[in-house]
Amino acid sequence: MRSVSIHCTSCGQKIESKEAVFRCNICNEPVEFEIEGLKEAKINDGNLLTQTIWERYADFLPFFDKESELSLGEGFTPLTNLKKLSESIGIGDLYIKNESQNPTWSFKDRGTAYGIMHARKLGYKKIGTVSTGNMATSVAAYGAAAKMETFVLVSKNISPEKINPIAIYNPHLIKVEGNYGDLYFESLEIGKDKDIYFINSDVPMRVEGSKTIAFEICEQLNFKMPDYVIVPTSAGGNIRGIEKGFREFKVCGLIDYVPKFICAQASGCSPIYNAFMDGSNAITRVDNPHTIAHAIENPYPPSGNQVLRMLRNNGGIATAVSDYEILKAQALMAEQGIFGQPASAVPLAAVIKLKAEGFLKGNENIVCIATGSGLKYTAALDMQKLYSVECKIEKLIDFISKNY
Amino acid sequence: MRSVSIHCTSCGQKIESKEAVFRCNICNEPVEFEIEGLKEAKINDGNLLTQTIWERYADFLPFFDKESELSLGEGFTPLTNLKKLSESIGIGDLYIKNESQNPTWSFKDRGTAYGIMHARKLGYKKIGTVSTGNMATSVAAYGAAAKMETFVLVSKNISPEKINPIAIYNPHLIKVEGNYGDLYFESLEIGKDKDIYFINSDVPMRVEGSKTIAFEICEQLNFKMPDYVIVPTSAGGNIRGIEKGFREFKVCGLIDYVPKFICAQASGCSPIYNAFMDGSNAITRVDNPHTIAHAIENPYPPSGNQVLRMLRNNGGIATAVSDYEILKAQALMAEQGIFGQPASAVPLAAVIKLKAEGFLKGNENIVCIATGSGLKYTAALDMQKLYSVECKIEKLIDFISKNY
């Protein structure tokens, strides 16, 4: 058995507890697992048609046992090389890691599955989450699959387009009136009191789940590392997890170096970028956040400070792109065959911006994380220029001859 | 090189042509590939993170070469065992093959990718399709990825919810006014005239693409065959392909027998079921088709007669379920964590109906094909009973204590 401990990402204190630990009790910063003996860890080779990501990467996870496993077939998503696009932008290879091919069509399923496994292992009967988007859908779906009581706390003014695809999984769905931003911290208190394991955006098990994205990228690139990995960043759990995954593969010698990370935000809500540019160690809450990339519209990311620390250790940067740049990138990505929700297009928008600004020189190999499906938020398409023409069936052949 | 020929599924004539062949020139029935030397064929084992379905199953495909390959990471979708649900229904194992985890979130991507590879190999520069749903999206996406001129012919009265997720890929999108039902056959004429490879619903390469669903199921079940495979059926291309896949694995000895097939339709549009029950060899066009499962609302399936022939050879049956049964099955499937579009729930509705009718005895192992994502048609959710409650943030803990 490997030894596993949990530490504060800021003050470093080791925390011992039989219950789930989500934040440091001293500095209220996020906590993180540390696994000993990683040098000996290896990938469990197998046929991916009969193996889960949890079985394959079990050596790198704080725990895995087949009995508490929960899987709907999350992970093993494609990494697509967009050759034509990278040529036209003028960079090296440009890859899209397409997380829309998960069971609820976003990256959230990895962390959700792993969080619920942890909850089950600790004996919890109830789980929950605070989200109005991808995470709500994901926790509702996996909670249903696990047959656990599932609490999904959404904002009171959520639209039918967003609430119905959560409600169909039949969780305890509660529209909460009040300051929705406070609910993350409030839910942790409720969870303690009512024995509900809240699998929120940046809980340690979600970070562990996101590591599998890095592991897959390494395999898909035959362990030849890209220069940059760009992650659309909201709460900060996903970028933390992906970076941690690369770091752990380096510890055990599977890769030579960890790619540099680019934390990509929307300019209408960019607390991490703001702090990064100011040289600050701590984020400041954004007033009146507003972006079309709703999935990353978090005005006060609970892992924001840790993302700043991570970026500085990693040598990475933060950037922010406008809604106009995001919509253009969404259309451009669709023209390569990949239709992502606006947040998914943020990394591509960042590539284009960073090339124009001269930060990217022209030969860098880059992996962009496309976090969720374009079908998640089709209202964004009303802001795209979309074309169609009309023709009578009997005129069709003439029409095609003349026009194309 | 294996020898490959193409035959009419009805009159059996062998057709020789350097262009793509879609129907028999004598009886106007669908054509099908026959591959010789299948006895020697085998699965090309490899790491699925770096291998495509086309590489893995190349021995079973009429052609594959790496140069004309087109892939966005289609296939390798999960097969999920719903243990709790199968117990409550009272059958053996119940598996869902979740095709919503494809690049455009439906099974269509397999046939589209393979069809375009064929088109490229034959030298076509233009592709097209006739569809208002999953296939339109899929062809638009893969046409974009292949950088080919792509014609998507949709019905004039298509809704924005449906047209926008096609338009975002930027194909030549033509809304056609007139009898949309005739457009399938009309498009084949246009294709001949204008050198457009129309990858319609039941073209032979789409059938070949669908075989990969069967191949994966065999691997996922460790080659231990289920009793039944249930496929929501519209044009008939998908059920034909899946059945052909099992048959070919039997030829080369990978499996002992071919499961029985159940062709599942919606009662509001069930031409194949109607003909099957009448003992007829030919389908009759359905007047005024109407079902919530729009994805299978084809009043005159171009492969309908061949599906009838296939079912009789296979020993399978056809069935039909009402919109009410479909909606109930959609909700029930979501409560296991899998949210499919209404057509995806048709096989589960069929299981429940066939068990109630006594056709299923109670120990059968069944695979249901869930063809596409629930996000494809969220308007269907307006017809579901969905629950949520409201609460003020400061009352939340009391509310949870009292109510759950």
Contact between chains at B388 and A177 (C-beta distance less than 8 A): no
Q: Find chain A residues with C-beta within 8 A of B186's C-beta.
A: 393, 396
Q: How many domains does chain B have?
A: 1
B40 within domain boundaries:
no
Average pLDDT, chain A: 96
pLDDT given at position A345: 98
pLDDT given at position B159: 86
**Which domain does B264 fall in, by range?**
79-104+204-383
Contact between chains at B381 and A168 (C-beta distance less than 8 A): yes
> At a CB cut-off of 8 Å and minimum separation 6, what does B395 contact?
none
For B139-177, the pLDDT digits (tens) are 999 999 999 999 999 999 898 888 999 999 999 999 999
Residue B134 assigned to a binding site: yes
Contact between chains at B397 and A190 (C-beta distance less than 8 A): yes
pLDDT given at position B3: 87
Q: Choose from A44, A164, A336 for mutation: most chain B CBs within 10 A.
A: A164
* CA proximity to A265, closest of A229, A291, A226: A291
Q: Residue B263: enclosing H or E segment and its boundaries?
A: strand B260-266
Give the residue-averaged pLDDT of A16-43: 93
Question: Is pLDDT of B399 > 90?
Answer: yes
* CA proximity to A259, closest of A219, A334, A316: A316
Q: Residue B14: enclosing H or E segment and its boundaries?
A: strand B14-15
For B236-258, the pLDDT digits (tens) are 999 999 999 999 999 999 999 99
A65 within domain boundaries:
no
* Closest CB to B178 among A71, A335, A392: A392
- Per-residue 3-state assignment (H helix, E strand, C coil) for chain A: CCCEEEEECCCCCEECCCCCCCECCCCCCEEEEEECCHHHCCCCCCCCCCCCHHHHCHHHCCCCCHHHCCCCCCCCCCEEECHHHHHHHCCCCEEEEEHHHCCCCECHHHHHHHHHHHHHHCCCCEEEEECCCHHHHHHHHHHHHHCCEEEEEEECCCCHHHHHHHHCCCCEEEEEECCHHHHHHHHHHHHHHHCEEECCCCCHHHHHHHHHHHHHHHHHCCCCCCCEEEEECCCCHHHHHHHHHHHHHHHCCCCCCCCEEEEEEECCECHHHHHHHHCCCCCCCCCCCCCCCHHHCCCCCCCHHHHHHHHHHHCCEEEEECHHHHHHHHHHHHCCCCCECHHHHHHHHHHHHHHHCCCCCCCCCEEEEECEEHHHHHHHHHHCCCCCEEEEHHHHHHHHHHHC
A187 within domain boundaries:
no
A266 within domain boundaries:
yes
* Closest CB to B103 among A98, A151, A193: A98
Tell me the nearest-neighbour CA distance from A181 into chain B, angstroms. 11
Give the residue-averaged pLDDT of B105-110: 98
Give the residue-averaged pLDDT of A47-76: 96
Question: Is pLDDT of B329 > 60?
Answer: yes
Confidence band for A105, pLDDT divided at 50, 70 and 90: very high
For A345-361, the pLDDT digits (tens) are 999 999 999 999 999 99
Give the residue-averaged pLDDT of B101-121: 97
Confidence band for B1, pLDDT divided at 50, 70 and 90: low
A187, A135 Cβ separation under 8 angstroms: no
Query: What string of DSSP letters covers B55-123?
Result: HHTGGGSS---GGG---SS-----EEE-HHHHHHHT-S-EEEEEGGGSTTSBTHHHHHHHHHHHHHHTT
Beta strands across the sheet bearing B14-15: B14-15, B4-8, B31-35
**Residue B268 φ then ψ, to 5°:** -75, -5
Tell me the nearest-neighbour CA distance from A103 into chain B, angstroms. 6
Q: How far apart are CA A94 and CA B14, in angstroms?
A: 45
Tell me the nearest-neighbour CA distance from B110 into chain A, angstroms. 14
Contact between chains at A386 and B141 (C-beta distance less than 8 A): no
A156, B321 Cβ separation under 8 angstroms: no
pLDDT given at position A160: 84
**Percent with pLDDT over 90 in chain B:** 94
B35 within domain boundaries:
no
Q: How far apart are CA B350 and CA A373, in angstroms?
A: 29
A98 within domain boundaries:
yes
B254, B223 Cβ separation under 8 angstroms: yes
Confidence band for A242, pLDDT divided at 50, 70 and 90: very high
For A180-226, the pLDDT digits (tens) are 778 998 999 999 999 999 999 999 999 999 999 999 999 999 999 99
Q: Choose from B107, B341, B386 for mutation: most chain A CBs within 10 A.
A: B386
Q: How far apart are CA B290 and CA B270, in angstroms?
A: 10
Confidence band for B312, pLDDT divided at 50, 70 and 90: very high
**In this structure, what token pair is assigned to residue A305?**
């400070």
pLDDT given at position B72: 98
Distances (CA, A) of A345 to A297, A324, A331, B193: 14, 11, 9, 39
Classify the C-alpha dihedral B44-B45-B50-B52 as positive or negative.
Answer: positive
User: Which CATH number do you get for residue A280?
Assistant: 3.40.50.1100
**Percent with pLDDT over 70 in chain A:** 100
A303 within domain boundaries:
yes
For A120-154, the pLDDT digits (tens) are 999 999 999 999 899 999 999 999 999 999 999 99
Q: How far apart are CA A103 and CA B79, in angstroms?
A: 11
A134 within domain boundaries:
no
Contact between chains at B219 and A49 (C-beta distance less than 8 A): yes
CA A306 to chain centre: 16
For A314-348, the pLDDT digits (tens) are 999 999 999 999 999 999 999 999 999 999 999 99
**Percent with pLDDT over 90 in chain A:** 94
A82, A95 Cβ separation under 8 angstroms: yes
Return the residue of B nearest to A186 by Cα.
B393
pLDDT given at position A1: 55
Q: How far apart are CA B374 and CA B340, in angstroms?
A: 4
Question: Is pLDDT of A43 > 90?
Answer: yes
Plot region of A253 (φ>0 → left; ψ -120 to 50 → alpha; else → beta): left
Average pLDDT, chain B: 96
Q: Choose from B150, B169, B223, B341 for mutation: most chain A CBs within 10 A.
A: B169
